[in-house]
Amino acid sequence: MRTVRYREIADDLRRLVDGGDLGPGRLLPSESELSARYGASRVTVRKALEALRDDGLVDSRQGFGWFVAAHPLRQSLGRLGTIEDQLEASGAVAERRVLEFAEVAAEPAVREALGVRRVLRVRRLNLADGEPFAVVTVWCPVPLAEGLTRADVERSPFYELIGVPLGGATQVIGAAAAAPGDAELLAVPAGSPVLRCERVTRDAAGRAVLRSVHVFPAHRTEFVVELPSVERSMAPDGLRLVD
């Protein structure tokens, strides 16, 4: 049987990337899967992947494996805005797909945040240039969501739909492991690193009007904070230790 050389594997993977079959940030099959596909040893497969990494075409990270190299999508934390606005500002094409649209009883964390018992819950998948970028769940008090349709929330952000002036938001960001359902939607391994953001948005009077949870694949996402000049500390405001 003919021995497959690492350059042949590298050339074939390069064609898949250049042809758009594997988009920026997309995970590659595991080394064992590639080994079986090409009938080559894992040593040969790894050598091919390392050659592509040297060319800047792929990269690897603990917990993810190998993926098509891409500049991380950056989001600024300096102002209240939507994912779509920030993606488009970076030059990416933003898209949202609504996965769930239902009026439900508010779960305890939502009831505590919004002070209501019934909410509209919307779960969606956000994409950047056709690739999964975030799984977002939004809870909105039923009175503010009255008259909204699935088509409305697929087309426009809640900030434009609820009809109240916004005053600001509190957002908490932490590291987490991808739950199986989120992992499948984001095309990453279950248990791989994600950034989980919990946000409570307030109206101009200070009343909480939206609660949302955003789950981002860690290898594709960066958050940027501008730090003002201070005398004693350069730690970002709001930093806290998790018990």
Q: Which CATH number fits domain 73-224: 1.10.10.10, 3.30.70.100, 3.40.1410.10, 3.40.50.970?
A: 3.40.1410.10
pLDDT at 235: 47
Nearest alpha-carbon partner for 139 in 215, 214, 213, 210: 210
Model pTM? 0.71
Task: State residue 132's pLDDT score.
Answer: 87
- At 132-187, the pLDDT tens digits run 889 999 999 999 999 999 999 999 889 899 999 999 999 888 889 889 999 999 98
Of 2.60.120.620, 1.10.10.10, 2.60.40.3470, 3.20.20.140, the CATH number of 6-68 is: 1.10.10.10
One-character DSSP codes across 95-138: EEEEEEEEEEEPPHHHHHHH--SEEEEEEEEEEETTEEEEEEEE
pLDDT at 92: 74
Question: CATH 1.10.10.10: which residues of the chain?
Answer: 6-68
Residue ranges of the chain assigned to CATH 3.40.1410.10: 73-224
